[in-house]
Amino acid sequence: MRARVAHIASNTFREAVRDRVLYNLIAFAVLLSGAAILVGQISVDIEKLVVINLGLTAVSLFGIVIAIFIGIGLVSKEIEKRTLYTVLSRPVRRWEFIVGKFFGLAGTLVVNTFFMAIGVFAALFYVSHKFVRADGLILVALYFIVLEFLIICSLALLFSSFSSPLLSAVFAFSLFVIGSFAEDLRGFAGMAHGITRWLVTGAAYLVPNFSAFNIVSSIAHEQPVAAQLILHNTLYALFYAAMALSGAVLIFENRNLK
Amino acid sequence: MPAIEILGLEKTYLVGFWRKRPKCALHPLHLQVEDGEIFGFLGPNGAGKTTTLKLLMGLVFPTSGSARILGKEWTDPEVKAQIGFLPEQPYFYDHLTAHELLNYYAQLSGVPPKERSRRVDRTLQRVGLKDVHGVQLRKFSKGMLQRAGIAQAILHEPRLVFFDEPMSGLDPIGRREVRDLMEQLKQEGKTVFFSTHILSDAEALCDRVAIIHKGELRGVGAIADLTSSVQGKVEIVWHSTQVPASMKALGADCHITGDTVRAIIDENQQDAAIDALRRERLRLIALTPVRTSLEAYFVEKLQRAETSAGRTV
Amino acid sequence: MNRRKTSWVAAACLLCSLLASAILLRHSDKIRPQSTLREVLYINSPQFLKRASLGYSGLLADIYWTRAVQYFGSRHHDEAKSYDLLAPLLELTTQLDPHLIVAYEFGASFLAPPAPSGAGQPDRAIQLMEYGIKNNRDDWKLYYDLGFVYYMNLKDYPKAADAFERGSMIPNAHPFMRVLAAQMAQHAGEFDTARMLWSATYQNSQDKQIRTNAVEHLRALRVDETVTQLQQAVTRFGGRTGRLPASMSELVTAEGLPRVPVDPDGHPYKLTAEGRVEVRVPDDFPFATKGLPPGYTPIPKFHYQEQ
């Protein structure tokens, strides 16, 4: 059972890599080096700030785009191309397929982020010429970004299990945007009345809450991160991803594959 | 024990914008396939052949009914280890090579790691895809893809294979090879269940066939039985450039082609005909019972269903 | 594991994870109070943010405005002593959308007053108003807000007069702008002027918090006014009789008043043994400066509930 999940995961990873997804790293590298060099020349005392802000934002955005664009096709493309039929004619459970796809996509993103992280630190070294202890916070920010990816992957997979690629992309992207303002949504819910209040509160808890994961600006100012927050975010990401994946499994197990 | 027992499998879809209109893709089907035979599942396009296969594979869930495959419930995952499936017009992961694809499938089928490489090589050789190292599947021609599809279906040495339109898109040589392969599988004691709308393939290969049309079973049986001579006529072929008077006297319907004459006569006239030829010293080439072709049987079954009173689908 | 069993397991897992994530979210509010709001302190360049929002700066302004309102409201409810994020939030809101007039009004009402009723930053409030005026030259209300801050919090009557004067010259300005300009010159510190200003604030705003605040101030003004008058009556009584009145009723009869005066809540004022006029429930009038027991510190909480 575990072996099959691992095989599906590694196959997903291989497909993504061969599909030249890692070429995005080139675009990323170009962007970051350009910015680092430009900022180094302008030298307005905020080079480090810019590199950290720009670098981490780019890691986040590139990753979200990849997560959505690969994720939405994970199931629907396989159905469309009928590769799924030959897979499911083997002793593979449907849920193993979903879980394997998730790990494959997540793995792709982790590898991608790893290379990007090297790029960020390289750019940072270029503008600062040294590393300080506070730069370790960048690793925490990157870790939170990876947790965000896990959530987005699980959502993309959820939508892919029942919806067309285009709609899945729209839903996943919308949830990403709403999730970034989810904290405000909960605030709005507090101010509403009656049934609206219940509906909005429900929505605010259902959408992914990314507010706690966005520490880019604060770590750029070298504000420390509480260990409790790290634990909290890890648990939240795991539970949320589990929720979305359970939904995907539930849908996929009961879906007629016409 | 029959290899496949279909016990009333039925599938009705709800179509329309509000999913209210029922559309029956498969009426309750009862069918049995014996162990070790090649079974043809025939029908025009849209008859329900693929629906039946998808139901058996567990890709689609039946509205009612069940099936047993190799003695077990068709939903039992252990069954999957012993069957192989080739879907219609398969398509595979673009960026893998044939070796990687089959290796992946072998992994999923639970082939032990030590065995995998050997099996993959052997299967590729068997389907005629030996020299494709390093070529990604997206560069494969249609025929090559079909062979790859067959390869993944037989890779793990299943006892029962399901082929959906295995000859589609193949040139005559390819079709011949697939036919030979299917014969080989039968020699190995495997059961083959394949669907097609090409009757000549079925005629050449199958022990038994079933005919399905608009979701309903129209006929099942051995080919010989279905096309057995109902007319009681024989065809006599002899070497000549003209028709002798004695043959004309039998009231035969004669056709001359080059230096061969063919005539259709009644069964009970065949002795008289042979005597006539001997008297004229003409060389007898062949004497065969006239069989209804499978095609005629097929068309007749379909037409009868169309005009049958009260039958609506 | 067949399909049905897998489905049940998946459904159970879904519900459990949902609950767990909801619980975690509630917990997170405790461990990072207002961190998202604090982020506003790190936005060095609102112009950059405006560009980065890709033309959706209006929406972003609305979000920051809502955050500012919630920030103030929740802290006010919790009787906080400082509102250090209010100014950055309002400034960012107006940078993103300079035409969001209500943000300037809010600043006038709550940035300028001293803690704990407000942020205690009248200078920043002035800056905000000036910025608003610069970007909305045709809106007389901003001049009103400017003058209001000068009058109420800085007690700078000439500058207040100037602001009301400038505002009165805008076409469509409310007539009372001219009146207020004149009042500043002569009766700057008096009850009527203050009452006029708070009434104007109440009438011209739709924001619930601003209106409630104005009403509280009006109630306090009534109390201050009445207590002042009553206290003067006590002094007069003492001058006539050489002693303090024995009770409020005696004072009322001596002054020829129809009945014992009541505060805006309908409770009669009381007369202490030492001859002080006091309200019965000081907590109900957080902005009153007279009629309070000695040593009493008001709690700046809104008691008045607007229907």
What gap in Å lies between CA C237 and CA B237, rounded to an integer?
149
Residue type, C20: A
Give residue B16's Cα distance to chain centre: 33
C97-100, long-range: CB < 8 A, 24+ apart: C97/C57, C97/C58, C97/C61, C97/C62, C97/C65, C98/C131, C98/C132, C98/C135, C98/C136, C99/C135, C99/C136, C100/C61, C100/C62, C100/C65
Least confident of A206-210, A236-240, B286-290: B286-290
Instruction: Please tell me whether residues C176 and C242 are part of one structural domain.
Output: no
pLDDT confidence of residue A243: 96
Instruction: Please tell me whether residues C232 and C150 are part of one structural domain.
Output: no
Instruction: Please tell me whether residues C126 and C274 are part of one structural domain.
Output: no
Q: Where are the domains of chain A?
A: 2-253
Domain containing C155 — which CATH number?
1.25.40.10
Q: Does B75 touch chain C (CB under 8 A)?
A: yes
pLDDT confidence of residue C299: 72
Q: Does B169 touch chain A (CB under 8 A)?
A: no
Chain B positions touching C3 (Cβ under 8 A) are 61, 75
Give the confidence band of B313 by pLDDT, cuts at 50, 70, 90.
very low
Instruction: Please tell me whether residues C102 and C126 are part of one structural domain.
Output: yes
Q: Which domain holds residue C239?
A: 224-284
Residue C208 placed within a domain: yes
What gap in Å lies between CA A243 and CA A150, rounded to an integer?
12
Beta-sheet strands, E only, within B141-244: 160-164, 191-196, 208-213, 216-222, 233-239
Tell me the per-residue pLDDT of A76-91, one tens digit each, with 9 for 90 and over: 777 777 788 999 999 9
Q: Mutate which of C1, C2, C7 to disrupt the B interface (most B C-beta within 10 Å)?
A: C2
Which of C254, C293, C291, C247 is CA-nearest to residue C273?
C247
Nearest residue on chain A to C33, alpha-carbon basis:
A212
- Complex prediction ipTM: 0.84
Instruction: Please tell me whether residues C228 and C203 are part of one structural domain.
Output: no
Domain C-terminal end among C162, C187, C212:
C212
pLDDT averaged over 10-residue windows placed end to end, chain C, 307 residues:
87 94 85 70 71 77 86 78 86 90 91 85 92 91 91 87 88 84 73 84 84 88 89 87 85 84 88 86 84 79 59
pLDDT confidence of residue A207: 92
Least confident of A107-111, B125-129, B157-161, B242-246: B242-246
Higher pLDDT, B182 or C56: B182
Pairing of strands B283-289, B233-239: antiparallel
Nearest residue on chain C to B74, alpha-carbon basis:
C2
Answering whether pTM is above 0.90, one says no
Taking an 8 Å cut-off on Cβ atoms, the answer to whether B85 and A89 are in contact is: yes
Tell me the per-residue pLDDT of B111-147, one tens digit each, with 9 for 90 and over: 899 989 999 999 998 888 878 888 888 888 888 888 8
Taking an 8 Å cut-off on Cβ atoms, the answer to whether A212 and C67 are in contact is: no
Chain B positions touching C2 (Cβ under 8 A) are 75
Instruction: Please tell me whether residues C91 and C178 are part of one structural domain.
Output: yes
Place of tokens 């300009």: C181
Q: Residue C25 is encoded by which pair of tokens? A: 């979210």
Pairing of strands B160-164, B83-86: parallel
Instruction: Please tell me whether residues C169 and C231 are part of one structural domain.
Output: no
CA angle A62, A63, A69 (to 5 degrees): 90
Least confident of A219-228, B115-124, B289-298, C6-15: B289-298
Tell me the per-residue pLDDT of A3-55, one tens digit each, with 9 for 90 and over: 899 999 999 998 888 877 778 777 887 888 787 777 767 766 677 777 888 88
Q: Mutate which of B63, B88, B93, B147 to disrupt the A interface (most A C-beta within 10 Å)?
A: B93
Nearest residue on chain B to A91, alpha-carbon basis:
B80
Higher pLDDT, C11 or B257: C11
Q: Mutate which of B14, B59, B152 to disrupt the A interface (most A C-beta within 10 Å)?
A: B59
Instruction: Please tell me whether residues C182 and C257 are part of one structural domain.
Output: no
Taking an 8 Å cut-off on Cβ atoms, the answer to whether A239 and C24 are in contact is: yes
Taking an 8 Å cut-off on Cβ atoms, the answer to whether B93 and A11 are in contact is: yes
Residue C150 placed within a domain: yes
Instruction: Please tell me whether residues C109 and C246 are part of one structural domain.
Output: no
pLDDT confidence of residue C260: 85
Least confident of B76-80, B246-250, C165-169: B246-250
Instruction: Please tell me whether residues C238 and C195 are part of one structural domain.
Output: no
**Quick one: average pLDDT of B251-270?**
80
Instruction: Please tell me whether residues C99 and C48 are part of one structural domain.
Output: yes
Higher pLDDT, B89 or B148: B148
Residue C133 placed within a domain: yes
User: Please, are residues B160 and B193 in contact by the beta-carbon 8 Å criterion?
Assistant: yes
Instruction: Please tell me whether residues C241 and C271 are part of one structural domain.
Output: yes
Chains that touch C (3 or more CB pairs under 8 A): A, B
Nearest residue on chain A to C42, alpha-carbon basis:
A217
What gap in Å lies between CA B107 and CA B159, rounded to an integer?
18
**Quick one: average pLDDT of B100-109?**
92
